[in-house]
Structure 1
Amino acid sequence: MFNQLDDAISWIEKQIKFRPKTSLDHMKDALSILHLDLSKIKKIHVTGTNGKGSVCMMTTSILVKSGKNVGTFISPYLENFNERIKYNGQDISNEDLLKIINEIYQLNKNYSQISGQTLSFFELMTLMAIKFFHDKKVDVMIMEVGIGGLLDSTNILNYDVSVITNIGMDHMKQLGDTEEQIALNKLGILKKNGVLYTTVDSKFEKLFTDYATNKNAIVNFIDKNNIKVISEFPHIIEYKYETYKLSLLGDFQNLNACLAIEIVKHLYKDIEVSKIKQGLIDTKHSGRLEMVLDGVFIDGAHNVHAIKRVIYSLQSINKVYNINVLFSALSDKEPEKMLNLIQPFVKSITLTAFPDPRYKTLENLPFKFENNPKIALENLIQNRRENDVILITGSLHFIGYVKKEVIPYFK
């Protein structure tokens, strides 16, 4: 047991990150030890290659505005470990976090004595979130998938509504080398007699429909023709003849907002439109086309699918093509492929480093490299011309480091 939060967080972060899995039986066994009654909690499950966190936070904001108590589990965090577990949109308190880690520490010991195994980091985090939300007696629990869906730790519950944002090439080592394999893995969150909302490309509709039919489930596709962009900055859209202002920038947020709207309407048929509108205005989600300094944006795009949408959105918002990119990424994220994709659409690219065990030097790639991100950003700011903007991107871990350790240097 731990008396200090730093020691508790250190323990959980040192647990094994990944383990090969063929089923979730071990997670269900661990959950059963807690003896939780979750029957009175509405449950939302969100997966997809990109946009999961935005959908979770938009949905959270709307439901909180509507007077519901909401628990939200998202990952990874940008600046503070507490960001992973939220109650009514606010990070879990240090006191509650220490208490729940101690409880899960004891669960892990009990599970180990029974099974001879220990649980992984994300498995422990998932159980922490579920236990915390149960203890808080939330009305709604929103759970973001870690990787994929089928064998993800969050998939041990039956959910009232499942959500798949989109399908792109990411986490291929775990999910498969084709979009179809990745899609099928994510479809693993849809249970028998379940309900799914999705904004996947039309090319996946038959795959999704066939899968849902086999599960006797219902799949609802968001019709993109019902979305009209009124303004990009401020960000205003029309959806099904209602106008909504979004706090989150980027055209990719249009579909995310529509998912959030449909999710809350599915769970609460009589929800007031005014509450939905206010919830979308009030949504906060760091690191998604967030302006952190004048003319300096950060975005956690960490795969080819996401980075294309960010570049397009930044050009649309600023009505200029003078985008200077500061980029770093983890070694498993195809950094060279991302850079080659965005190069034709930006004015300059500067690569840099950051402290992360999964970072592998980008110095050998054919782009300007500056090892120190503070110096790299300072050079970009000093050399910026009129109508130039700076985009810091490539990894959620990278922009989290930049936001915490680099940006304060310029304020």
Structure 2
Amino acid sequence: MNPSFNFKDAETYLDSLLVFGIKLGLENMVSLNQLLGDPASSLKFIHVAGTNGKGSTCAMIATACKYSGLKTAFYSSPYLVNFLERWRINGTPIQEELYLEAIQEIMLIEDQLIEITGVKPTYFEVLTAAALIIFQKEKCELVVWETGMGGRLDATNIVNPLMSIITNIAMDHGSYLGETIEEVASEKAGIIKANTPFICGELDPKLKSIFAQKAQKSSQYYMDTDFLSHRQGTDIQYQGTHELNYKLRLLGDHQVSNSSIAIKALEVLEDQGILESAIIAAKGIQYAHWPGRIQELPNQIYVDGAHNPAAMEKLSHCFTGKKFTVLCGMMEDKDIKATLKKLAPICKNFIAIPINIPRAIQAETLADIAKETLNCPCSFQNNWETCINNIEGKVLITGSLYLSGEVLSKLAPDSALRCDILE
């Protein structure tokens, strides 16, 4: 390896791959894994897909498994503050040296890959291959493996996992995954494997039937009738193979549902002999932290990355009866009107703000859409930092995880690095 190769060099290489955009398909990733010595076959994966909630569910599983003593890796996207957040081991981003070594390994076999497939790897394929290299090198005992955008053709779908999990389905990324919610569900269902347990968090009967059909070849299929969590005072009660009470640090009733999926995963790991006790591991869920998701900061400021109608509805439900000045930035390709309608019940004043990436909608344009959608004062500002200093009362910053990352990088950078508060 080249000792002078640095983070900027790696960034330049990855940026050169962005011109190839998003390419759904597994041929490149399969060949890439083989050229790297098949690290995927030496690791144990929990593969998690879903439109919303998959990151929180992964964070709970990863924290619980770390709490139980397993060296646990967690691959996720996007990052909020530090690029190395994408690869966590025992809740902490990896060291830069590991990342740089992995990128160089991939660059060394790129020409061979092009000979086989005819094309360069995509940005996400390289990040996914880097995860395989890093987690194998670090001898991780378990990998919580979050999909990128889809399922069936997602680069993460080359692994043979211990189990597959789908949290829920909503419309998002329609141009890639389908124009109907049933088509999106079918794409996500592509992570379900034969002879492998499958946990389904979706409650819609028509979507559950799609998963049930796909899961006929799986060895075990668990859905909402097999596991359930509900609030009981200040605690949460879980009923599944085991019954237990626990607490959650994460805010929102939807996290109760996500936690039930996480505990069911722990029960499957116990059945497989990976965990000695699901009950002991589940105690670790109370320490799970997932930054930028209904995260409370000082001075009555809340940050959440809700970027589609389903996520925004859950956010609004969490704050029923409360009103906020909302600072909002969104991506231009999202269902903006439908998302803002879900925001309406908790919004007393709407301020559109820009996000510094090409896909973001202009703040002035977002404010115009909000005026047509919300029954409250709507305006735009050029800078959220200047704006926030002039607001009294509760503030909610939402609309995009990219915006959450911008805010946390200034107001609470350390909180974005960990997915637990165990240490």
TM-score, normalised to structure 1's length? 0.90
Contact residue 44 and residue 161 of structure 2 kept, 8 A: yes
Matched residue, 1:258: 260
Which amino acid in structure 1 is aligned with residue 236 of structure 2?
I
- Contact 1:264/1:271 (<8 A) preserved: no
Residue 357 of structure 2 aligns with an amino acid whose one-letter code is D
Q: Which moved more, 1:370-379 or 1:257-266?
A: 370-379
Q: Is the CA contact (8 Å cut-off) linking 1:343 and 1:349 kept in structure 2? A: no
Residue aligning to 2:331: 330
Matches within 5 A, 1:122-133: 122-133=124-135
Q: Any conservation in 2 of the 1:36–1:134 contact (CA below 8 Å)?
A: no
Give the secondary structure class of the aligned counterpart of 1:392. Answer: strand
Alignment partner, residue 388 of structure 2: 377
Of 24, 27, 46, the residue aligned with 1:44 is 46
1:374 alignment partner AA? E
The one-letter amino acid of 2:195's match is: N
Residues of 2 paired with 1:216 and 1:398: CA distance? 39
Quote the residue 1:349 is aligned against: 350
Percent sequence identity over matched residues? 31
Q: 1:37 to 1:131 in 2, by over 3 A?
A: closer
In the alignment, the residues of structure 2 paired with residue 192 and residue 356 of structure 1 have an alpha-carbon distance, to the nearest angstrom, of: 40
**Residues 83-232 of structure 1 mapped to structure 2, 5 A cutoff:** 83-203=85-205, 204-213=207-216, 215-223=217-225, 226-231=228-233
Q: How far apart are the structure 2 equivalents of 1:98 and 1:304?
A: 38
The aligned residue for residue 361 of structure 1 is 362
- Please report how far the alpha carbon of residue 113 of structure 1 lies from its aligned counterpart in structure 2 after TM superposition: 4.3
CA distance in 2 between partners of 1:20 and 1:104 (Å): 18
Q: Which amino acid aligns with 1:238?
A: Q
State the alpha-carbon separation in 2 of the partners of residues 329 and 149 from structure 1. Answer: 24
The offset of 1:228, in angstroms, is 2.0
Give 1:66's aligned residue. 68
One-letter amino acid of the structure 1 residue matched with residue 344 of structure 2: Q
Match of 1:267 in 2: 269
* 8 Å contact kept, 1:40–1:139: no
Q: Secondary structure at the match of 1:229?
A: strand
Q: Which runs of 5+ in 2 are unaligned?
A: 372-377, 414-423
Distance 2:209 2:229 in 1: 22
Q: Secondary structure at the match of 1:391?
A: strand
Q: Tell whether the 8 Å contact from 2:263 to 2:278 is kept in structure 1 after alignment.
A: no
User: Would the aligned equivalents of 2:102 and 2:130 in 1 still touch at CA under 8 Å?
Assistant: yes
Contact in 1 for aligned 2:270/2:277 (Cα 8 Å): no
Q: CA 1:407–1:64 in 2, change beyond 3 Å: closer, same or farther? A: closer
Structure 2 Cα separation of the partners of residues 274 and 242 of structure 1: 7
SS in 1 for 2:184: helix
Distance 1:195 1:237 in 2: 25
User: 2:304 aligned with 1:299, yes or no?
Assistant: yes
Give the whole-Å Cα distance in 2 for the aligned partners of 1:95 and 1:321.
46
Give, in whole Å, the separation in 1 of the partners of 2:225 and 2:350. 36
* Residues 62, 90 of structure 2: 8 Å contact kept: yes
TM-aligned CA distance change 1:37 to 1:104, over 3 Å = closer
Query: TM-score scaled by structure 2?
Result: 0.87
Gaps of 5+ in 1: none
Q: Secondary structure at the match of 1:227?
A: strand
Q: 1:27-51 CA distances to partner (integer Å, 9 max, x unpaired)?
A: 1111111113554532110000001
Aligned-pair CA distance for 1:230: 2.5
CA displacement 1:240-295 (0-9 Å, x = unmatched): 24111111111111111111111121012363355334311221221111112221
Q: Distance in 2 between matches of 1:263 and 1:138?
A: 18
Q: Compare 125-134 and 286-295 and name the one that shifted more.
A: 286-295
Aligned length in residues:
393
Mapped partners of 2:353, 2:103: distance in 1: 35
The SS at the match of 2:246 is: strand
Decide whether the 8 Å contact of 2:56 with 2:255 is kept in 1: yes
Secondary structure in structure 2 of the residue aligned to 1:399: helix
Does structure 1 conserve the Cα–Cα contact (< 8 Å) formed by 2:324 and 2:395? yes
